[in-house]
Amino acid sequence: MLKALINSFKIEDLKKKILITLGLLIIYRMGCYIPTPGIDGAALSEFFRRMTQAQGASIFGIINMFSGGALEQMTIFALGIMPYISASIIMQLLTAVIPSLEKLAKEGRAGHEKINQYTRIGTLFLCLVQAFFISMWLENPARFQGLQIVPNPGWGFRLLTVLTLTTGTMFIMWLGEQIQERGIGNGISLIIAVGIISRLPTAIYQLFVLASPFSPEKRSLSPFVIVVIFSIMFALIAFVVMITQGQRKIPVQYARRIVGRKLYGGQSTYLPIKVDTAGVISIIFAQSIILFPATLATFMPNAGFQKLTSFLTRGNIVYNILYAGLIVFFCYFYTAIVFNPVEIAENMKKYGGFIPGIRPGKPTADFLIFVLNRITLVGALSIVFVAIFPDFVIRWLKVPYSIASFLGGTTILIVVGVMLDTLKQIESQLLMHHYEGFMKTGQIKGRR
């Protein structure tokens, strides 16, 4: 693997892409430490600490994760890339239900550029709305348990906050697009992954403090527990890699056709159906919905909300059951949007393709639906296991959530998925220039 890394810098074009990617990611991380004007960052961090201890989690915890910790310090990148992700998901859903957008998506590069333009406009609108409500929220000390977050509230602060946060998110979106065009890997995904990885040193330090023999008063973890934690982490990463890379290959045969004096078709291929088609989208949607009451309870100290929140606390049996059900639902929902068996069956029939033993047309579509439903169930249950596993780690090993979050959940799904995708792109560049890749065997290899 070290040899492959050295070979990466021998290829001038690949070395340039890697350096550009690293440079733009460094710029992003620098922006995560530039504070928004007019805000007491220390008071805001104290509020987030209290809220996490009281409620266990909230929607702001998800946004804070995607912003790399910028939200709890309210820096210029506090909104992170979440508005762009929301706009992209909304556009993807609208494309599936609005015929004009569906037609536009099938027009090739020009259609995709037009949809991307709509996504940027949607991102700008979401940023303006979210930034305005955040500025209003920051001005009210009653919502922050008496903490004074904004020393000088007013319309001047609101307009400055809206301008700062909106500009920050649009700049992050531009950085992601530049990585996509000039660097290596998916720019937006890399920005999210780097933000999550930035929390890893804090978790390691906290783990060291809890296991350190030099501070017996704070020591609560034995060396055996540390070994168990790292063993679980490596095993879980291997499991997530298997689920992410896993797919069902359905054989497809194309009939031979004679056009003039030439013979077309006759080749065999396969149709890949991924075990986890929805990816991390299902777990993000499920988290957003189930944590919404807890967030409302923070802002609206109502007895009804407080009682509801007590049932939706992380680790509660009701929370886990509802969370698992939502993940399974969104796995099927998102898979139905991105994978259309009827359309695939029609395209196969149009070009003379068929699945051996299955008649073209409706029987092929029914077979694909049959396979897809069962494959999706396996993927959904796997995602459920990864999502709720940190709760069992907290109860079993008695470790804080900041450490347990790296043993499952959204964190490990995003980081493993992004790293695999980036390695695949570097691997393909190395193989194209006749260099040995990172792995001698395995599905990441892009060769026969």
How far is residue 331's CA from residue 139's CA, in Å, rounded to a whole number?
39
The structure tokens listed for 103 are: 């037609």
pLDDT single digits (tens) 335-386: 888 888 988 888 888 878 888 888 888 899 999 999 999 999 999 999 989 8
Q: Tell me how far apart the alpha carbons of residues 184 and 292 are, in angstroms, rounded to a whole number.
A: 36
Q: C-alpha dihedral over 179, 181, 185, 186, to 10 degrees?
A: 80
Does 82 have pLDDT greater than 50?
yes
State how far the Cα of 415 lies from the Cα of 197, in Å rounded to an integer.
Answer: 8
Among candidate residues 197, 123, 223, the one with its CA nearest the CA of residue 167 = 123
- The whole-angstrom separation of Cα 236 and Cα 278 is 19
Q: What is the mean pLDDT of residues 144-171?
A: 84
pLDDT of residue 441: 55
Percent of the chain with pLDDT over 70: 79
Helices (H), 79-153: 82-97, 99-105, 109-139
Q: What residue ranges define each of the domains in the chain, with the CATH number in brackets?
A: 13-198 (1.10.3370.10), 217-407 (1.10.3370.10)
Judged by DSSP in three states, 180 sits in: helix
Query: CA 293 from chain center: how many Å?
Result: 22
Angstrom distance (rounded) from CA 275 to CA 376: 6
Q: Say if residues 175 and 182 touch (Cβ distance below 8 Å).
A: no
* pTM, full prediction: 0.80
Strand-pairing partners, residue 251, are 270
Q: Could you tell me the pLDDT band of residue 262, with boundaries at 50, 70 and 90?
A: low
Mean pLDDT: which of 33-37, 216-220, 295-299 is highest? 33-37
Q: Are 328 and 380 in contact (CB under 8 A)?
A: yes
Q: What band does 6 get if pLDDT is binned at 50, 70 and 90?
A: confident
Number of residues written out for the chain: 448
The mean predicted confidence, pLDDT, of the chain is 80
- What is the amino acid identity at position 307? K
User: Using the 8-state DSSP alphabet, how is residue 253 labeled?
Assistant: E
Q: Are 342 and 331 in contact (CB under 8 A)?
A: no
| The token pair that represents 380 in the structure block | 């959904």
Tokens 């099938």 locate to: 106
For residues 52-76, one letter each, b for 16 or more C-beta atoms within 10 angstroms of the residue's C-beta and e for the rest, the string is beebbbbbbbbbbbbbbbbbbbbbb
112, 39, 127: which is closest to 79 by C-alpha? 127
User: Which distant-in-sequence residues (6+ apart) come within 8 Å of 169 by Cβ?
Assistant: 77, 79, 80, 81, 83, 84, 123, 127
